[in-house]
């Protein structure tokens, strides 16, 4: 019985993570495409075929290690969808660049709300119910995580374009200086109690959705 539950749990986590992280990347490319950038389309990265988006480390190894180690939450990433931001800016200005930067986050929040609504109609604890639960959980986590204003996350990119919109390069300069240490900073946050502070918005949002 326990083995069956673990199997269902692992399967539901895989499905939820794939939908959350692959959809997140596709949306960056799709919104850029709407602003006239065909880069992602030409490279086949607007496809929903997961094989074209899987990053061996970010999509498989990292989530698996976190799951096995019993981490309080899982996260991962897919291969970044290529975007020519200069084309986006030429056609949509800095508002377009901000929209592309935030597209994945908006997708994750939308999916979390939809999964939460569907979860309210479920009557049992089967695979679908468990998958919907993890869809809410991981989409919220990914949305909040990517909003952190730390390079190379989406939040820092959006803030940089927002600064440019108002004629300021201060945020871009900050991102450039901090960017080389971005991954180190993220690892420190995730691996220490600081993560509880940075993820507080996620806990609050999940309390409403779950």
User: Active-site residue 43, yes or no?
Assistant: no
Biggest alpha carbon–alpha carbon distance for the chain: 61
Q: How far is residue 123's CA from residue 72's CA, in Å, rounded to a whole number?
A: 26
Whether the Cβ atoms of residue 76 and residue 54 lie closer than 8 Å to each other: no
Task: Give the DSSP per-residue string, 140-206.
Answer: HHHHHHHHSSSTTSHHHHHHHHHHHHTT--HHHHHHHHHHTTHHHHHHHHHHSTHHHHHTHHHHHHH
Q: How far is residue 113's CA from residue 95's CA, in Å, rounded to a whole number?
A: 25
- Among 3, 25, 43, 176, the active-site one is 25
Q: Hey, which residues are catalytic here?
A: 25
């Amino acid at each position: 019985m326990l083995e069956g539950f673990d199997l269902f749990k692992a399967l539901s986590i895989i499905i939820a993570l794939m939908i959350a992280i692959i959809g997140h990347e596709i949306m960056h490319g799709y919104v850029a495409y709407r602003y006239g950038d065909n880069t992602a389309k030409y490279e086949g990265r607007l496809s929903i075929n997961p094989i074209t988006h899987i990053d061996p480390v970010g999509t498989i190894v990292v989530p698996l290690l976190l799951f096995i180690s019993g981490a309080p939450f899982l996260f991962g990433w897919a291969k970044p969808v290529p975007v020519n931001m200069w084309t986006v800016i030429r056609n949509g200005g800095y508002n377009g660049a901000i929209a592309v930067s935030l597209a994945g986050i908006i997708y994750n929040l939308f999916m979390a709300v939809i999964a939460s609504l569907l979860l309210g109609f479920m009557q049992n604890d089967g695979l679908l119910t468990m998958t919907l639960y993890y869809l809410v959980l991981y989409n919220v986590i990914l949305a909040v995580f990517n909003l952190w204003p730390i390079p190379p996350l989406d939040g820092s990119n959006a803030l940089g374009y927002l600064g440019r919109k108002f004629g300021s390069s201060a945020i871009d300069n900050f991102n450039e200086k901090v960017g080389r240490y971005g991954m180190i900073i993220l690892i420190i946050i995730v691996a220490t109690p600081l993560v509880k502070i940075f993820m507080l918005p996620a806990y609050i949002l999940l309390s409403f959705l779950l």
